[in-house]
Amino acid sequence: MPALLEITDVKRAFGGHKAVDGVSLSLNEGEITCLLGPSGCGKSTLLRLISGLETIEGGTIAANGVVLSGKGIHVPPEKRDMGFVFQDYALFPHLSVRDNIGFGLKHLSVAERDERINSLLATVRLSDKAKLYPSSLSGGEQQRIALARALARHPRLILLDEPFSGLDAHLKSEVREATLNILETTGTTAIMVTHDAEEALSMGHALALMNEGKIIQTGTPEECYFNPASLVAARLLGETNLVPGKHMGDHITSGFGSIPAKGPAAIKLTLCIRPEAFVVEDAATDLTSEVLVTAYRYHGAYCDLVLKAPNGDEAHAHVSSLRPYTVGQTVHVRLEPKLVSVF
Ligand SMILES: Nc1ncnc2c1ncn2[C@@H]1O[C@H](COP(=O)(O)OP(=O)(O)OP(=O)(O)O)[C@@H](O)[C@H]1O
């Protein structure tokens, strides 16, 4: 897929603090790229640099081969052909849903404008709310208006900055799904900032992991989750247990069982084990370890166990809730190699 936006070695500092420190990233046409990183790592700044709301101090940003930000070049935001969805939606409270969506369409004839608004209202399933004002709508509905407004001018790129952070947990997954649907059916290219790993993994066609102003890994969600490039990347993508491991022939052993060796032999290894990597077996095998259950919490879909290995190492495990567990019992566990990274 061709790159729509090419970011090359982009830099931006504030008072000596390198907020964006030499970032290179390609956004592919028709894809949603999720930019995931901890608070303060520079995600919003990068988005603002792409939008043109902020100026770069080094590098280039080009769309379809045309430089938008570069040495002596700064195309203003309104000429970049991009749509924005902000954290707080930034809707106009004094305008109806219809007028919010049509705000950027004043260059069209009345008939063309009406047709475009009607089509967008249908896309975001708000046709029956067209005459209402934002204050009388739910958070999820307001988010869909913001999305429709951002899509109104058929922008080449949509920038979303934490678009679901204002929504209740139960509404979040529904609105995420609806947004994904709209972006995919309209074939829109988008970059979405989030610090929620689950959101990034479930919504992104591509992921860009960011830390301390730098992109530390890019790839599909599966590539990043199963093969994190570093401990920092692994931790960004979800809960992990860090446990020492040892090379023993063609295996790596740990207090929680053995996995086939990965990578070159090394004296000191750290295993990064996802909680769902633990498999409880009925009996001991070459790959299992007998561990003690020191804490147990039922979560419905799974059980959260704290396990203590014979060597004293501890780990959190998410295992099937079909089997009963009690604190103080011992179980035979092995590790699912795909969910273990070795550093
Ligand atoms: N206009 C500004 N003036 C001074 N410092 C700024 C400015 N904008 C951002 N920063 C600083 O740059 C760093 C990156 O900020 P940014 O908002 O891009 O992070 P973020 O990853 O989006 O964080 P969050 O997830 O908390 O929104 C922070 O240390 C922030 O304080």
**What is the residue with the minimal CA distance to atom 7 of ligand 1?**
14
Q: What pTM was computed for the model? A: 0.89
pLDDT of residue 321: 86
Residue-level pLDDT at 2: 66
Q: Is 127 exposed, middle or buried (0-12, 13-18, 19+ CB in 10 A)?
A: middle
Candidate from 10, 11, 12, 14 with most ligand 1 atoms within 8 A of CB, to mutate: 14
176 lines ligand 1 (CB under 6 A): no
User: Residue 263: is its pLDDT beyond 70?
Assistant: no
Confidence of residue 129 (pLDDT cuts 50, 70, 90): very high
- Which residue(s) pair with 315 in the sheet? 307
What integer best gives the mean pLDDT of the chain?
A: 92
54 CA from centroid of ligand 1 (Å): 12
Is the CB of 14 inside a 6 Å radius of any atom of ligand 1? yes
For the stretch 266-297, pLDDT in tens is 777 899 999 999 999 999 999 999 999 999 99
Ligand 1 atom closest to the CA of 37, numbered from 1: 21
- The yes-or-no verdict on residue 159 having pLDDT over 70 is yes
Pairing status of strand 190-194 against strand 157-161:
parallel
Bridge partners (DSSP) listed for residue 341: 272
What is the distance, to the nearest Å, from the Cα of residue 69 to the centroid of all Cα atoms in its chain? 25
Contact 32, 203 (CB under 8 A): yes
Distance between start and end Cα atoms, the chain:
32
Q: Is the CB of 213 under 6 A from ligand 1?
A: no
The first and second tokens of residue 226, run together, are 């199963």
pLDDT surpassing 90 at residue 44: yes
Q: Is 39 in the pocket of ligand 1 (CB under 6 A)?
A: yes
Model confidence at 108: pLDDT above 70: yes
Lowest pLDDT segment from 164-173, 179-188, 194-203, 284-293: 164-173
Q: What is the mean pLDDT of residues 312-324?
A: 93
Q: Pocket of ligand 1, candidates 21, 36, 43: which has the most ligand atoms within 8 Å of its Cβ, to mutate? A: 43
Q: Stretch 116-135: mean pLDDT, rounded?
A: 90
In the chain, alpha helices (H):
43-51, 97-101, 110-123, 139-151, 169-185, 197-203, 221-226, 231-236
Residue nearest to atom 23 of ligand 1 (CA): 40
Ligand 1 site-directed mutation target among 12, 18, 44, most atoms within 8 Å of CB: 44
Does 123 have pLDDT greater than 90? no
* Stronger pLDDT, 84 or 214, i.e. the higher one: 214
DSSP H helices in 73-194: 97-101, 110-123, 139-151, 169-185
Low-confidence winner among 84-93, 107-116, 194-203, 239-248 (lowest mean pLDDT): 84-93
Residue type, 341: S
Residue type, 289: S
Q: In what order do the strands lie in the sheet with 214-219?
A: 82-85, 157-161, 190-194, 32-36, 206-211, 214-219
Give the model's pLDDT for residue 293.
Answer: 97
Burial readout 83-116 (b: 16 or more C-beta within 10 A, e: otherwise): bbbbeebebeeeebbbebbbeebeebeeeebeeb
pLDDT score for 1: 59
For range 240-256, the mean pLDDT = 92
One-letter amino acid identity for 93?
P
| 301-324: average pLDDT | 94
- Cα separation of 219 and 240, whole Å? 20
pLDDT band at 60 (very low <50, low <70, confident <90, very high): very high
Does the C-beta of 291 come closer than 6 Å to ligand 1?
Answer: no
The domains of the chain, with CATH numbers, are: 3-236 (3.40.50.300), 241-342 (2.40.50.140)
Question: Looking at residue 117, what is its pLDDT?
Answer: 94
Locate tokens 């052909």: which residue?
Answer: 81
Name which residue sits closest to atom 31 of ligand 1, judged by CA: 40
pLDDT at 167 over 80: no
List % helix, strand, coil for the chain (3-state, nearest 5).
Answer: 30, 35, 35
Mean pLDDT value across residues 131-145: 89
| pLDDT at residue number 22 | 97
Question: For the chain, what percent of residues have pLDDT higher than 90?
Answer: 73
